[in-house]
Amino acid sequence: MIENALKGGKRYWSWIAFLLVIIAVGGLYWLRQFNEGLTITGLNRDVSWGLYIAQFTFMVGVAASAVMVVLPYYLHNYKAFGKITILGEFVAVGACIMCMGFIFVDMGQPFRITNVFLHPSPNSMMFWDTVVLMGYLVLNVLISFVTLHSEKKSIAPPKWIRPIIILSIPWAVSIHTVTAFLYAGLVARPFWMTAVMAPRFLATAFSAGPALLILLALILRKNTKFDTGKEPIQKLAIIVTYAMIMNVFLLLMEIFTAVYSGIPEHLDHFKYLYFGLGENTALVPWMWTSAVLAVIALVLLIVPQFRKNETLLIWGCIAVFISIWIDKGMGMIVTGYIPNPLHTVTEYVPTFPEVMITLMVWALGGLIITGLYKVALSVRKQLV
């Protein structure tokens, strides 16, 4: 089954080669970072988490979003998701590995990572996040391969897999909740000290994740014989729409609380995000881009005629994805540190090596998802 990932045409191999080149170049920069330390990044004493952790947070959401196809298909027996479910699960696998990759490249002493298991610390949310993420990866690998294997043999999946599938549903929610708890319980960071962080993380996950899935399904339709049909795409689009509305709603809640209360410790972070503090305005253009894209996305998604038009839907999904990627990634992480606990501002801008290492992890995720999709498609072609 898995050997299918090693068979493919010229275009398949060109794409794989492209990803491998990015991985190789990024790998060289990672080696440099490993030898010289994180000094080659833009991180500093005040802003000690940046691009890597931003990507990590965003990708946890993408991983969790698989539940949006798994739940309707397995729990509610929604048959239209039959073809697309495996795509969601494979995205989750790739996203989980990317999360681990981003944590790994962010560590000062990456080869001491086993200390997390040698000295388990239940009071640390990072310990729990590691546990749930690894568990989620195992669950998704198991579920996707067992169900695909059954599909290949044209038999029903074994009975024992069903409780595991059901378990993966709350587990998906847990990975993103625990990831929110990483940030939301820190007395030092008023910007993160918000009870709606976990709900908002889920809302952003369930909009950006399925948006990515729609895009991937449409790319597959265009380039392969694989076609999910219109119905699942439209159903996913509705999920994206509702989740995006929830996301924007929760963002407005955050802004109301900060602005109306006017507590400087909370308000200053939002000022930094959208207007900058003094001359420090690194994130302002990004955040307004995110806001404008969110509005465009909502218009394209909420109006039924636009949503049902697949070309416009593509643009809507791209807008959702980028808007959330900015807001939930760099916007969320970096702003937690600005202003710092001394109420002064040190800005952070990623460096070129940092961007290359980030691209390396993205390319690695792309490689994994490509390979897995190849496997899934090969199995499906045998069926036709």
Partner 1 sequence: MGVDRRKFVKIAGAAALGLTAAPPIKLFSSETEEKADTSLCNTATDSCVCKPPEVDPVEQGLKKDPTRWAMVVNLGECRKHEDCKDCILACHETHNVPDFPKKKDEVKWIWKEQFSHAFHEVENEFGDEELNHSPALLLCNHCDNPPCVKVCPTQATWKREQDGIVMMDWHRCIGCRYCLAACPYGSRSFNYRDPRPHIKEINTDFPTRMRGVVEKCTFCDERLAEGKLPACVDACKYGCLTFGDLEDADSKVRELLHSHFTIRRKPGLGTQPEVFYIV
Pick the stretch among 82-90, 125-133, 225-233, 300-308 that binds partner 1 (CB under 8 A).
125-133
What whole-number distance in Å separates Cα of residue 152 and Cα of residue 162?
18
The residue among 321 and 337 lying less far from partner 1, judged by its C-beta, is 337
Which of 10, 11, 17, 45 forms a contact with partner 1 (CB under 8 A)?
Answer: 45
What whole-number distance in Å separates Cα of residue 19 and Cα of residue 71?
32
The residue among 66 and 361 lying less far from partner 1, judged by its C-beta, is 361
**Which residue type sits at 300?**
L
The residue among 342 and 384 lying less far from partner 1, judged by its C-beta, is 342
Q: Counting contacts by CB under 8 A, is residue 223 touching partner 1?
A: no
Binding mask 59-98 for partner 1 (x = CB under 8 A): ----------------------------------------
Residue 110 preceded by cis peptide, ω within 30 = no
Q: Counting contacts by CB under 8 A, is residue 335 touching partner 1?
A: no
Per-residue tokens: 291: 């806001």
CA torsion 247→366→146→222, rounded to 10°? Answer: 80
Pick the stretch among 18-26, 64-72, 319-327, 332-340 that binds partner 1 (CB under 8 A).
332-340
Q: Counting contacts by CB under 8 A, is residue 273 touching partner 1?
A: no
Per-residue tokens: 279: 């001359």
Q: Counting contacts by CB under 8 A, is residue 180 touching partner 1?
A: no
Per-residue tokens: 140: 């998704």
Q: Counting contacts by CB under 8 A, is residue 46 touching partner 1?
A: yes
What whole-number distance in Å separates Cα of residue 370 and Cα of residue 364?
10
Binding mask 309-328 for partner 1 (x = CB under 8 A): --------------------
Q: Counting contacts by CB under 8 A, is residue 262 touching partner 1?
A: no
**Which residue type sits at 91?**
V
Residue corresponding to tokens 């909420």: 302
Q: Counting contacts by CB under 8 A, is residue 116 touching partner 1?
A: yes
Per-residue tokens: 108: 């000062």
Question: In the bound complex, what is the minimum distance in angstroms from residue 90's beta carbon to partner 1?
Answer: 29
15, burial (CB in 10 Å: exposed 0-12, middle 13-18, buried 19+): middle
Which of 26, 42, 61, 331 forms a contact with partner 1 (CB under 8 A)?
Answer: 42
Q: Counting contacts by CB under 8 A, is residue 280 touching partner 1?
A: no
Closest Cα partner for 316 from 222, 243, 228, 226?
A: 243
Q: Counting contacts by CB under 8 A, is residue 181 touching partner 1?
A: no
**Other beta carbons within 10 Å of 295:** 12
**Which residue type sits at 240?**
V
Q: Which residues of this protein are in contact with partner 1, per CB under 8 A?
A: 36-39, 41-46, 48-49, 103, 106-110, 112-113, 115-116, 118-119, 121, 123-127, 130, 182-183, 186-189, 336-337, 340-344, 346
